Amino acid sequence: MIPDSETDVVFLADLLQARFPDLYTRVSAILVSHGVEVRVLTGVRDIWARDFSPVQIGEGKLVQFRYEPDYLAEYPELRTGRDVAVQFAELGECRHCEINFDGGNVVASKRRAILTEKIYRENPEWERGDLRKELLRTLEVDELIVVPKEPYDPIGHTDAMVRFIDEKSVLVNDYSITDPAFGQRLLKVLLRHGLKAEKLPYSHQLASKGEIPSAVGCYTNFLRTSKVILVPEYGISDDGIALAKLRSVFPDVPVVPVRCSDLAKEGGVLNCITSTYRRTPKSG
């Protein structure tokens, strides 16, 4: 796959500009000032661009998965259809895949992809072994790592739990206070696959909107590009710890904080509202 560390184009939903204009302006300005191209997705039905956008698996190669998550079963008006793929045509050929799959439920390096076990529940018609083989082939990775999802989380995305630093190491939420038993389960799977884990602070917040748990206190959902990293901040004591940690593990890329408290109360943060890609080099 194309890892976030190689991306230089970021798509944002037009609805984000309408609902969170200050955040939209702040994110766009930071990206553009660091040489990252910003494009706007029009006519989409939600702000969470990561989930319904195509996944870039290689140079000029994208895959549009079926987007029918169970947490939107009663809200079909919030599901953006596969016709959104036409807005990515300049990035290369996009093929469709009938696996039911949210973009937020995959984090990847070049050779590895991590998903939560929610992928099995979303595709009950598949035998697990066959589904894994098909995902390996479709995502064009050598290794598929399936981790447990957070208990009581209806979304079940990896990008709120773990992110790659490089091929051999990841950042994970520090569950030592909120759910140490789950944290140990998660670490056990990652270590079994030979990944070194660095921890980011993590806390649960009660303030949320609707049925989706708040993401206030989650820092793994940062936005990473090849030129700049945007980390959420919430006005809490862990902000400085998370910022310092990210700057230490990514010393060669600017790491910029962005206040995301209001957005996070709706259940997602910076990686959720963006889809990231690498431009296809122009011939000649």
Residue-level pLDDT at 16: 98
In a domain, 76, yes or no: yes
Counted residue by residue, the chain has a size of: 284
Instruction: Give the span between the Cα atoms of 228 and 38, in whole angstroms.
Output: 13
pLDDT at residue number 214: 92
Q: Which distant-in-sequence residues (6+ apart) come within 8 Å of 270 by Cβ?
A: 27, 221, 222, 223, 230, 231, 232, 258, 260
CA triplet 156, 28, 169: central angle to 5 degrees? 45
Tens-place pLDDT, residues 43-76: 999 999 999 999 999 999 999 999 999 999 999 9
Q: What is the pLDDT of residue 100?
A: 98
pLDDT for residue 205 is more than 80: no
Average confidence score pLDDT of the chain: 95
Token look-up 């709120």 returns 160
Q: Please report, for the domain that includes residue 94, its CATH number.
A: 3.75.10.10
In a domain, 79, yes or no: yes
117-134 mean pLDDT: 97
DSSP 35: T
Phi, psi angle pair for 226, to nearest 5°: -70, -20
Give the pLDDT mean for 123-129: 97
Q: Given pLDDT bands bounded at 50, 70 and 90, which one contains residue 4?
A: very high
C-alpha separations of 60 from 2, 89, 263 in Å: 10, 9, 32
Residue 196, domain member (yes or no): yes
Helix (H, G, I), strand (E, B) or coil at 103: helix
Residue 104 located in a structural domain = yes
Contact 123, 100 (CB under 8 A): yes
Closest Cα partner for 5 from 145, 109, 91?
Answer: 109
Give helix then strand counts, H and E, for the chain: 8, 15
pLDDT digits (tens, 9 = 90+) for 76-95: 999 999 999 999 999 999 99
Is residue 88, in this structure, part of any structural domain at all? yes
What integer pLDDT is reported at residue 227 of this predicted model?
97
DSSP 209: S
- Check residue 41 and give its pLDDT: 98
User: What pLDDT is attached to residue 283?
Assistant: 45
Distance, in Å, from the CA atom of 228 to the CA atom of 220, rounded to the nearest integer, reads: 15
The two three-digit tokens of residue 137, written as one number: 């082939």
Residue 152's pLDDT is 85
Chain CA centroid to CA 55, Å: 11
Specify if 284 maps to a domain: no
| pLDDT band at residue 280 using 50, 70 and 90 as cut-offs | low
The answer to whether residue 109 is domain-embedded is yes
User: Range of 269's domain?
Assistant: 4-277
Indicate the SS3 state at residue 107.
strand
Residue 204: band (very low, low, confident or very high) from pLDDT cuts 50, 70, 90: confident
Q: How confident is the model at residue 282 (pLDDT cuts 50, 70, 90)?
A: very low
Backbone angles phi, psi at 47, to 5 degrees: -90, -10
Number of structural domains, the chain?
A: 1
